[in-house]
Structure 1
Amino acid sequence: MITRRSFLSHSAGFAAAASIGGSLPIMANAAAPSLSLYGPPVGPSVVLSYIANKGLLSEYTSKVDFSVYKSPDVLRAGFVSGDWKLAGTPSYVAANLSNKGLPVKMLNIMTWGMLYVLSYDGSVKSPADLAGEKIGMFFRNDMPDLVFGRVMQQNGLTEGKDYTLHYVSTPFEALQLLLSGRIKHCVLPEPAATAGMVKGKKLGKKIHRSIDLANEWASVTSGKGRFPMAGMMVHEDLLNVQPELIEGFHKACIEGTQWVKANPKEAAAVAAENIKLPAPVIAKSVPHTHLTAERAKDIQVELEQFYSILAEKNPSIIGGKLPSADFYL
């Protein structure tokens, strides 16, 4: 059952992670026989759960433990302290930490975007359909807000003139406004979007997944409908001591991603023990998480384009400049 407490903890925790670092910290020590993996509820953590449970890193370590973390501040503290060497993170957070002098690099991207507009109005299919409307939004001037605003701008819509945003602190608050009927539309990440639709159905409310902001990103870049939202960040200490582990982990990400996408119900069953959401919700969210496993160097142009677009309105989000070329592994 999805309780208010569990929904708040997991959806807000994930989206908070998505705004400042949310993700899959993995602690590793070159001399240690085990890896301890930590991650947010759902999203790429479903892949991490599979990697841990199926022994995909047995060639490099005797044991892999996975558990869900509660606070995104732990990610920052772990890397600043030097205790963490390999972590999943929103891609711009890795750039920010690198530009602040931490010896970190981007290994890969594990999701091509997980942001959606939910709406009561089934006729809403595109940004243009939100003209004149009020939309719930969390994390002002952070990644979700910047992505949505840029998509709307590209479609000729200006905030305050053509539409308005109702800012709240967490995705749970945005969804509560939607469920109470105080707003008709809101932006939510996965798995909050799926969990919210399930909650709405139980309340007898028809909520539509109206706009996939990843698909809409094509209008911004004149390229593919995707943006490099989150992936794995590596500390140079681990990269220098155990480069074979890093390569093995990336291969495990590829294998795990393919399996999770092909077997969402089975993947949810594996992950549900660690991710405190019902397995059916996890399974339903998987197709909307746009999982991938792309080497950062192979998509450096897309990453730099994403960073540059975010920085147009908020330069500090990436630390004021693009990372150096050797940031991308």
Structure 2
Amino acid sequence: MKKLLMLPISLALCLTLITGCGSQAGGPSEVQPTETSGAESQAPGEETKETADISDTTDTAVRVMALKGPTAMGLVEFMNESESGAVNGNDYEFTIAASADEVTPKLVQGEADIAAVPANLASVLYNNTEGQVQVLSINTLGVLYIVDTGDTVHSAADLKGKTIYASGKGATPEYAIDYILMKNGIDPEKDVTIEWKSEHAECVAALAASEDGGIALLPQPFVTIAQTQDDRIRIALDLTEEWDMLQKDEETPSALLTGVVVARADFIEEHPETISAFMDSYKKSVDYVNGNMEEAAKLIEKFDIVPAAVAQKALPYCNITFIEGAEMKDKLSGYLSVLLEQNEKSVGGEIPADDFYYERQGN
């Protein structure tokens, strides 16, 4: 399998195409794997298929990266378990990064094996490495919300004629809000005023300064953080729900997505059983986080993602999930198609081919 190709300089622009929901102040935190014992020994010449399968998942070092925010939250039970030793026979090294530009070079240069990244960035990576990255699963649906301070927005139609504060121009937030507006018969250029800010904090400041009530587009967990600063802020619209309503009659409905899990294609080829074991452990972790939010929030703070108090309030709105196989392909390809229509650079120029979508045998 060919080694990953270095991305062209133009990819730097594409690295901005994220929701921004995962960035918080502070550097990356790392969870180092502990030493574990290897597989039981076997007499020479007695290797069987079962032994070959076990050897693939035993003592394999797996380097995993994720971004601070919802794309990392679903991993925390998995990360916590790995501190006690190997998980399903594999040693894991987890790194939580503050931004995508920390993750991309590690993945491209073979210094990371698996990464949780923005959904559109996965497509950019695939296209710029000639297919050397595959997507394993969707791990986060949409985390974008319309909030207001005047209780004036109760449907997408209510946005007509309004001013919306937002950050993320030229990235997922812009594409998502434009799609929602246009599908509801609202021209983003003529029927609303979107004031683009450089940071989410500027949007919150603009809300606070609006005497008659302001409206903003914000991601989780920043919505929850903002609500702790201004109790007038309420969630008016969930853009994921709005997207779903628009897609419900489509033959293969897409979804508003935030994050996916990708792996290097050569690592997948060399360690198929390790990848399958990783996915099983990841799904288990996601189920734990969604079913035990109070305890999960403590782990989220432990791994320096966001404070526990924020995490516990934000988790119900972070849409953490685990979707693989055919459903993943339908939702992700549809989402990327929407982005392609608005800006082909947002997906790396074209929709990835079928080999972009990893499917486990038997699933």
Determine the C-alpha separation between the residues in 1 that align with 2:64 and 2:263: 13
State the Cα distance separating 1:268 from its structure 2 match: 0.5
Alpha-carbon displacement from aligned partner over 1:157-195 (angstroms, at most 9, x marks no partner): 112321110001222222222233387011111111111
Partner of 1:43: 70
User: Does the 8 A contact of 1:103 with 1:235 survive in 2?
Assistant: yes
Alpha-carbon displacement from aligned partner over 1:178-226 (angstroms, at most 9, x marks no partner): 233387011111111111112213xxxx111010000000243235694
What is the TM-score with the length of structure 1 in the denominator? 0.85
State the Cα distance separating 1:88 from its structure 2 match: 0.5
Determine the C-alpha separation between the residues in 2 that align with 1:188 and 1:328: 29
Partner of 1:94: 122
Aligned length: 310
User: Does the 8 A contact of 2:143 with 2:318 survive in 1?
Assistant: yes
Amino acid at match of 1:88: A
Secondary structure (helix, strand or coil) at the match of 2:90 reads coil
Determine the C-alpha separation between the residues in 1 that align with 2:305 and 2:136: 28
User: Does the 8 A contact of 2:132 with 2:264 survive in 1?
Assistant: yes
Distance 1:31 1:247, change over 3 A: closer
- Is 2:98 aligned against 1:70? yes
Determine the C-alpha separation between the residues in 2 that align with 1:76 and 1:26: 19
State the Cα distance separating 1:75 from its structure 2 match: 1.6
Determine the C-alpha separation between the residues in 2 that align with 1:192 and 1:34: 34
- Is 2:222 aligned against 1:196? no
Instruction: Choose the corresponding residue for 2:237, options 198, 203, 211.
Output: 211
Instruction: Give me the identity figure in percent.
Output: 24
Instruction: Choose the corresponding residue for 1:317, options 305, 324, 346.
Output: 346
Distance 1:32 1:173, change over 3 A: farther
Partner of 1:220: 246
State the Cα distance separating 1:59 from its structure 2 match: 1.7
Determine the C-alpha separation between the residues in 2 that align with 1:65 and 1:263: 24
User: Does the 8 A contact of 2:254 with 2:331 survive in 1?
Assistant: no
Alpha-carbon displacement from aligned partner over 1:237-276 (angstroms, at most 9, x marks no partner): 2101211121111111211111111111100111202225
Distance 1:252 1:268, change over 3 A: same
More displaced stretch, 299-308 vs 219-228: 219-228
Secondary structure (helix, strand or coil) at the match of 2:256 reads coil
More displaced stretch, 40-49 vs 95-104: 40-49
User: Does the 8 A contact of 1:194 with 1:281 survive in 2?
Assistant: yes
What is the TM-score with the length of structure 2 in the denominator? 0.77
Cα RMSD (Å) of the superposition? 3.0
Determine the C-alpha separation between the residues in 2 that align with 1:303 and 1:165: 27
1:1-329 equivalent positions in 2, closer than 5 A: 18-19=18-19, 34-55=61-82, 58-62=87-91, 64-100=92-128, 101=130, 103-181=132-210, 184-201=214-231, 206-223=232-249, 226-329=255-358
Larger relative helix fraction: 1
Determine the C-alpha separation between the residues in 1 that align with 2:318 and 2:78: 18
Determine the C-alpha separation between the residues in 1 that align with 2:202 and 2:104: 25
Secondary structure (helix, strand or coil) at the match of 2:77 reads helix
More displaced stretch, 208-217 vs 167-176: 167-176
State the Cα distance separating 1:71 from its structure 2 match: 2.8
State the Cα distance separating 1:83 from its structure 2 match: 1.5
Distance 1:119 1:162, change over 3 A: same
Q: Which has the larger radius of gyration?
A: 2
Determine the C-alpha separation between the residues in 1 that align with 2:127 and 2:254: 28
Alpha-carbon displacement from aligned partner over 1:285-317 (angstroms, at most 9, x marks no partner): 111011110114433122111111111110111
Determine the C-alpha separation between the residues in 2 that align with 1:131 and 1:35: 49
Alpha-carbon displacement from aligned partner over 1:114-168 (angstroms, at most 9, x marks no partner): 1101111223111111111110121212111101110011111112321110001
Alpha-carbon displacement from aligned partner over 1:24-81 (angstroms, at most 9, x marks no partner): 99999x997644544323313122121010249612324x344431232112211232
Distance 1:324 1:83, change over 3 A: same
